[in-house]
Amino acid sequence: MPDPAPRTALVISAHAADFVWRCGGAIALHARRGYQVTVACLSFGERGESARLWKEGRGLDEVKAIRRDEAEKAAAVLGVHRLECFDLGDYPLRMTDDDKLRLVALIRDVQPRFMLSHSQYDPYNTDHMYTTQVALEARMIAQAWGHNPGEKVLGAPQLYLFEPHQSEQMGWKPDTFLDITPVWEKKRAAMECMNGQLHLWEYYTCVAQQRANHFKRNSGGQAGGRDCSHAEGFQSVFPRTVDEL
C-alpha cells in the first residue's frame, strides 16, 4: 500500500541543467527514500547555457527542444517525480505576476517538506539570484491564508541554497553536507545527459569528491569520521527546529 501522504520536495531551477549539477544527488537520494521530488525548471537555459549548440548553428526552437530532452532524461535518471518546465526564457529570466502565481500554485500543490534553489548573490548570473528572490516571494504568498482561500496553505519548509559555480564569489557558505554516495552513479549518469556541457562532468565529479572530504571532516575526521565518497553541500536560509542537538 503506498504511503497515504508521501513526503515531497521541490527544486526551483533557473535553467534546465542547474538541478542536475547542483542537487542531482539530493534528488536521487530522496527519491530513493520515497520522496516525491518535483523540479520546476523556469527556463531551458537556451540562450545562456547552450553555447555548444549555438556554435553548431542551431535555431532557438531546436536548442530548446534539445535542452528539454536532456532535462527530461536527466530527471528520469534521478527519479524526479514531476518535471515542470515553465519555459520563461533566460538571459534574462523574467517572471510576470502570473508566472509567479503559477509557481505559488505549484508550491501549494506539492506541499514540499523542503525547497531547493540558487544562492542569494551571483554577479556572474543575475538569473540565479532573481530565481531565489522569487522563490522567497512565492513561498511567502503560498503561506498566506488569504491567497486563494480554501486551498491548503503552505507550512514553513526550509529553503536550501544549492552550490553555485565559484562558491566563494557568491558569498555561499554550506552549513549542511549530504552524503550522496548511495546514488552517486545516478548523479553521474544524469550529468552525462547534458551533452552541451561536457566540461562540467568532471568538474562536478570533483566537487562531489571534495564535499565528501568535507563530510568526513565534519562527521568526525580522522577519529570517527564516517566514510563517504561523494557529497553535496547546501546553505540553509531558515533556522531549523529540533528536539535534540
Of residues 75-114, those binding a copy of itself (CB under 8 A):
90-92, 94, 97, 100, 114
Does 127 help bind a copy of itself (rule: CB under 8 A)? yes
Residue type for position 63: V
Q: How many residues bind a copy of itself (CB under 8 A)?
A: 93
Does 184 help bind a copy of itself (rule: CB under 8 A)? no
Grid coordinates given for 135: 522563490
- Rounded to 5 degrees, φ, ψ at 203 are -55, -50
Span 26-45, contacts to a copy of itself by CB under 8 A:
26, 29-30, 33
Does 153 help bind a copy of itself (rule: CB under 8 A)? yes
Helix 60-78 vs helix 18-32: angle between axes, to the nearest 10 degrees?
Answer: 30
Does 5 help bind a copy of itself (rule: CB under 8 A)? no
d(CA 63, CA 196): 10
Does 61 help bind a copy of itself (rule: CB under 8 A)? no
Grid coordinates given for 145: 491564508
Among 69, 82, 145, 188, binds a copy of itself (CB under 8 A): 145
Helix 97-110 vs helix 126-142: angle between axes, to the nearest 10 degrees?
Answer: 60
Does 50 help bind a copy of itself (rule: CB under 8 A)? yes
My answer on whether omega of the bond before 174 falls inside 30° of 0, hence cis, is no
Among 46, 83, 86, 107, binds a copy of itself (CB under 8 A): 46
Among 76, 195, 198, 210, binds a copy of itself (CB under 8 A): 210
